Structure 1
Amino acid sequence: MPASVTPANIRLAPKVVLHDHLDGGLRPQTIIDLAQQTGYSALPATDAQELARWFTESADSGSLVRYLETFAHTVGVMQDRASLIRVASECAQDHAADGVVYAEVRFAPELHTEKGMHLTEVVEAVLEGFAIGAAIASEAGHPIVVRALLTAMRHAARSREIAELVVQYRDRGVAGFDIAGAEAGFPPSRHLDAFEYLRKENAHFTIHAGEAFGLPSIWEALTWCGAERLGHGVRIIDDISVAADGTVSLGLLAAYVRDRRIPLEMCPSSNIQTGAAASIAEHPIGLLTKLKFRVTVNTDNRLMSGVSMTSEMTALAQAFGYGWEEMQWFTLNAMKSSFLPFDERLAIINDVIKPGYAALAG
């Protein structure tokens, strides 16, 4: 008999996350502890429950710009080696406890240098934290593989420098590169130098595109910059039309994305907060899944959205009637699209993901 599709059972299912921000997933109590230890005095609340509520309410504004403002507090307490190690370790442990077996977690090294840390020190501290957290999780019976994505801020001018760090640390736990931040006015083509360097070095990269800004952002990310995946990509729906009789027509860009199996790193709850979708039931993920785009499900910012991979999968199951077959499909899409070497991807698919879903599906 198949297991019922409940949050408790979904938590047991092996899951893969490709789009998760380190500075968007801190435990509220950790923020309070680190603020006390480091002298950060700007927190809006010093009770863990109140602080958690403040983050989700502030992020619920419907504006990407306002949503991004909440990060001032998390980044504010992540400015020294010990704090970064703790946050990264807890990130790995929290994902593992939620049933995540592979995670690519992104962070922007340039945001953690306010107190004098060098970019390499930031990267090494986070990688050390991931390793510690993964070891603790494994001992607790929740093995997880965690890799880092190094993010450059699209409004800044350090993308080439960050890209070089990706190449420097690619054999030490860094899987790839990303650019993030407000899309409007900061097209990905501003960072062509970084993308050309990465392609020359055969390094992997994804690009935040099609979240708050539309099709031109997606088009540039793919055709000018050569992105392997799209961070969010939700606005690809703007190139898809549905007639009154239900007939679906894909524009040239949407057809290209589907034909090329370009992975969409979809983050449903986050998209609702930033105004990219009105509700889970109305989220484009439903149609994109039906049309068999390479859809993956992700958390984006677990603190700001008050989510986990389990809660995101649960919300989709409730809204669209998805069962174990669809959840395995999302998970396999993500694992196939990860920046892990092929043989390692295959091992997780065959040894962890497929057996895990087979047990649940009966």
Structure 2
Amino acid sequence: MTAYWFLLISALIVVIQNRIFKAMGLRRVTYSRQFDRRTCYEGDEVALVETIANEKRFPLPWLRVESLLSASLRFGHDHASNLDISSGQFQQNHRSFFSLMPWRRIRRTHHVTAARRGCYELSTVTLTAGDLFGLSADSNTLTFSERLIVYPQLVLPEDLALPPRSWQGDMSVKRWVVEDPFRRIGVRPYRSGDSLRQVNWNATARTGDLQVHQLDTTADYSVLIVLNVEDHAEVWKTINDVETIEQGIRIAAGTASHLIRNGMEAGFASNGMLVDDLQSVIYAPPSGGEAHLYGILEMMSMLVIERQMSFYDYLLLLSERLDRPTDLLLLTTHTDDRVIEAIDLLTVEGHRVVIKQLYPESEANAS
């Protein structure tokens, strides 16, 4: 009889604690996670900070936190001992176990290396809490909008030839030079052809001769960098040699950075797709300034290596879109007859075209 009552009371305790933990488990349990910055470059290390808090008087015997992240975000070997990582080719599953006393907050920082360019979202995290005996569990899925934009590595090959009028390193060549009406560096005597709008009347009154503003000169040089995501001429949509195209993106990023940070203009175009808008045409006209550069780099980060249209059709589209002579740098793995035909059309229309051939890593090393 004693054993019977003992079993009955034990079962009753198990049921009661189960109901209590099920009702109270995830109540007032908060979880947050965010990167310590919004952007970084390929290969940089960032910090992923997560905070778990039990903001009530009731303890949590166990709490499981599960999430999926891209396998390109590589966690350091010094991550927390209660973090179990199962990594596949594209995704990795994270599972952590906690025991939280009342009014307890846990904050931990993971050091993560962004191994590849891209746009990485923290997406969802599932919290699961249960009773002392693990008989049942209560789950809640949280959705996050946090993003990490990973810019491509900046690569500028030594053998890269920019379109005519460009310069590289310490070698000076001819550049188009124009007067900048917003940069005045002094006055000079009036010459035939000068606009009366540029007359400096104070200097004219002081010298007795007609004087005009002396304007500084700036280099009017810009390049549109065009990336072909096709890895061979007969490709349909899926790209097999992704690494060669990735290297092309790094060269495009390095070239754009080189031009803009040396006071010139750069643009970016591609026949690929953007992760947020698979239907939009990738085209950023040449411009200057740091803001424009980071806009281009973000566009390159969002680039999906899938063909939206053939490179031939894309070059024809560019010929319709470009309303003035433009210097084009084409980064491509191939130049078949149709591509050459489109390049000839661009040349006839007054555009200057330079082709940078992209090779697989094995061929590049052999050469």
Q: Bin the TM-score by the shorter chain.
A: under 0.3
What TM-score results when the alignment is normalised by the length of structure 1?
Answer: 0.27
**Greater relative contact order: 1 or 2 (C-alpha under 8 angstroms, separation 6 or more)?**
1
Question: Which has the larger share of helix?
Answer: 1
Larger radius of gyration: 2
What TM-score results when the alignment is normalised by the length of structure 2?
Answer: 0.27
Question: Which has the larger share of strand?
Answer: 2
